[in-house]
Amino acid sequence: MSAKWLLFLQSFLFAILTHLAPFSTPIHKAPGTNVDRLALLAIKSMIKGDPQGLLTSWNQSSTDFCQWQGVTCSPRHQRVTHLDLSDGGLIGTLSPSIGNLSFLRVIQLFNNSFSNEIPPEIGRLFRLRELRLVYNSFTGKIPATIMNCSNLQVLKLGYNNLVGNIPDGIGSLSMLSFLYLNNNILQGGIPPEIWRLFRLQTLDLYNNFFTGNLLSIAPTLHTLSLCFNNFGGKLPSLTNGSALISLDLSRNYFVGSLHTLVCSNGVNKIEYLNLGYNQLSGVIPECWEKWSSLIVLGLSNNNLSGEIPRTLGSIPSLQLLNMGGNKISGSLPSSLMNLSYLKVLQLEQNNLVGIIPPWIGIKLTLLKLLNLRSNNFYGTIPHQLCYLSHAHILDLAHNNLSGNIPRCFNNFSVLSGIETNLENTFSFSCNSGSVYAVVSLVTKGREDTYDDILGLIMLLDLSSNNFSGRIPTELTSLHKLKSLNLSGNQLTGNIPNKIGDMKELESFDVSVNKLSGELPVSLSRLNFLSSFNVSYNNLIGRVPSSTQIQSFNESSFLGNKLCGAPLINDCVHVDKPDTTSDQKEDGGSHKVDWGLIISIVLGFITGFWAILVPLILNRSRRIAYFRLLRKLIKV
């Protein structure tokens, strides 16, 4: 072959390769890339609202879908592996085309407004490991096809409107570690096969309509939340080797004794236990020395009786103890003084007796909430309670306490505004996550439940006792206090003039006492008042003028001698000298004061005869008098 032909052949081959080069790129890509692109566009087509413009980059003209927002591709195959459209406020339905993204490992669509059913085509995603659809509006049943996703490790479908049962076959998800079905409308029982998922760490069925008994708890579980359901029967026991850290069975219908659970051998790792709002009964057992890791204990609103176990004092890390709303009797055991980390102590609505022990203020100095409401405590408030400088809430209402209100309450540094770092005040950290105290309090005349905003509540309630004496002026230095209730006592004297310094007061109640005097004008400075009651005292005078005070109903002022808006009787005569009482004593007639007139006349006559008559009759005295008068004038 000649050199010319060889040169021609090389040039020809180079030209062919040059023209074919642009079409050679797909050779290095998986054949399904266009499938992924079309699937993503189909997903976008069913989204009708995109307030944040999350899908702006998803358009027909763009072929490099791996650069679209929320899309992550595998570097090797250029296939979609992660779809993250969370927190986008998206409105629409989820396209069945999502099942065509066959390389998907993670779907995160939480905190949007997706509606209608979860497409069953998700069951075709055999590589799927995480499905997070929390905080949407999905309806219908949980697709049974999801049970085909055998590699699924995280399934979060909480905060939707899903109905029906947990699908049969959930036991096939052998890799499942986290199952969240909370806050839906699901029903039925827990399939027994769930307990055989040996990798399952968290099962959260909170706030549904599940029923049935709880015969056992899988030893691998770290967190079990069944609260706000319809479970019943007796409590289960825990065996040695249990990994359980958090157990919430509150607000169900569990019955019987605490003994089976509390005296189990597998409880030493539990940090959070809530059995409140059930129908549990009997004496609280003395087995609490087993609970060496416990931080939060809730036993409220059951039918528990007997005395407070002394072994509760052997839980060194306990920070919240709630036993309110039971039938517990006896006095507070001194062993509780060992709970030096305690921040919340709720024993309200029981049958407890005795004095409030001074050691509460001396030993439990970290207390932020002390609620002894509706018991039978008597005696005075020990001044040691003033050592609770971190207190937000002190509720001693409806007891038999007496004596004076301590003057040292101004030592409460949170209520006075000295201590200001109040973030996460009622949040308790466990290995399973942070939990908030859930507390029922009476404010503004009604009972409300508080959780994550509990740190904003500043309350002092001493109502319905037998306190006497004056309202201490030191209370007015509690500038951050929002609710003050001293009603139903025997308090006397005036309402402190500096009451207006408590500028954050939202609720003020001193009704049914023996207070006297006028309402302080400074009350008009309380701009946040939404509940106000001074009825049934001995108060007099005009109601101070302010937008807040004049907005209250007349019933807030009844049983006094007050006048002016919002009362119907005006104060026309209030600013004039009050002669009403004198008139009544005189029979209501305008009589002349003859005693005063007679005294004046007698004084005049006496002065005339004692001074003027001698000067007129005696010449020498008259001359001496005028000489003295001249000297005084010259001076």
Separation CA 34–CA 37 (nearest Å): 5
Query: Which pair of structure tokens corresponds to residue 434?
Result: 């942070």
User: Is the CB of residue 589 less than 8 Å from the CB of residue 575?
Assistant: no
Tally Cβ neighbours within 10 Å of residue 334: 12
Beta bridge partners of 561: 540
Separation CA 101–CA 69 (nearest Å): 16
Separation CA 456–CA 563 (nearest Å): 35
Tally Cβ neighbours within 10 Å of residue 119: 19
pLDDT value, residue 617: 56
Count the alpha carbons within 13 Å of 115 in the hemisphere toward its beta carbon: 6
pLDDT value, residue 602: 56
User: Is the CB of residue 535 less than 8 Å from the CB of residue 512?
Assistant: yes
- Measuring CA to CA, which residue among 179, 227, 135 is closest to residue 451? 227
Separation CA 93–CA 8 (nearest Å): 61
Domain of residue 489, residue span: 433-585
Q: Is 416 among the domain residues?
A: no
Gyration radius of the chain over CA positions: 40
DSSP one-letter code for 575 = T
Q: Is 127 among the domain residues?
A: no
Query: Which pair of structure tokens corresponds to residue 304?
Result: 């528990």
pLDDT value, residue 630: 53
Q: Is 468 among the domain residues?
A: yes
CA dist 167 → 161, 171, 622 (Å): 16, 10, 129
Query: Which pair of structure tokens corresponds to residue 9?
Result: 């052949």
Beta strands in 258-392 (DSSP E): 272-274, 279-283, 296-298, 303-305, 320-322, 329-330, 344-346, 351-354, 369-371, 376-379
Q: Is 551 among the domain residues?
A: yes
Amino acid at position 378, single letter: Y
CA dist 486 → 285, 375, 491, 569, 604 (Å): 37, 17, 8, 27, 59
User: Is the CB of residue 355 less than 8 Å from the CB of residue 378?
Assistant: yes
Query: Which pair of structure tokens corresponds to residue 167?
Result: 């699908």
pLDDT value, residue 149: 96
CA dist 390 → 20, 172, 494 (Å): 78, 51, 29
H or E element that contains 180: strand 178-180
Residue 451 has phi, psi (to 5 degrees) of -135, -90
Q: Is 477 among the domain residues?
A: yes
For residue 634, count CB atoms less than 10 angstroms from its CB and return exposed for 0-12, middle for 13-18, buried for 19 or more. Answer: exposed
Separation CA 68–CA 85 (nearest Å): 11
User: Is the CB of residue 135 less than 8 Å from the CB of residue 112?
Assistant: yes
pLDDT value, residue 585: 33
User: Is the CB of residue 392 less than 8 Å from the CB of residue 415?
Assistant: yes
Separation CA 196–CA 39 (nearest Å): 36
pLDDT value, residue 456: 87
Query: Which pair of structure tokens corresponds to residue 374?
Result: 């509706």
Separation CA 321–CA 442 (nearest Å): 19
Tally Cβ neighbours within 10 Å of residue 550: 13
Which residue ranges of the chain lie beneath pLDDT 70?
Answer: 1-32, 422-424, 432, 573-635
Mention every residue, 6+ apart, whose C-beta is less than 8 A from residue 499. 476, 508, 520, 522, 523, 526
Q: Is 334 among the domain residues?
A: no
DSSP one-letter code for 396 = -
- Angle, vertex CA 415, rays to CA 409 and CA 417, nearest 5: 120
Separation CA 200–CA 180 (nearest Å): 11
Encode pLDDT of 254-302 as tens digits.
999 999 999 999 999 999 999 999 999 999 999 999 999 999 999 999 9
Assign residue 485 the CATH number of its domain.
3.80.10.10
Q: Is 120 among the domain residues?
A: no
Amino acid at position 238, single letter: L
Encode pLDDT of 549-596 as tens digits.
999 999 999 999 999 999 988 887 544 444 343 333 333 333 445 554
Q: Is 507 among the domain residues?
A: yes
pLDDT value, residue 421: 72
pLDDT value, residue 302: 98
User: Is the CB of residue 71 less than 8 Å from the CB of residue 55?
Assistant: no
Task: Tell me how many domains the chain contains.
Answer: 1
- Measuring CA to CA, which residue among 552, 383, 584, 376 is closest to residue 464? 376
Q: Is the peptide bond before 566 cis (omega within 30 degrees of 0)?
A: yes
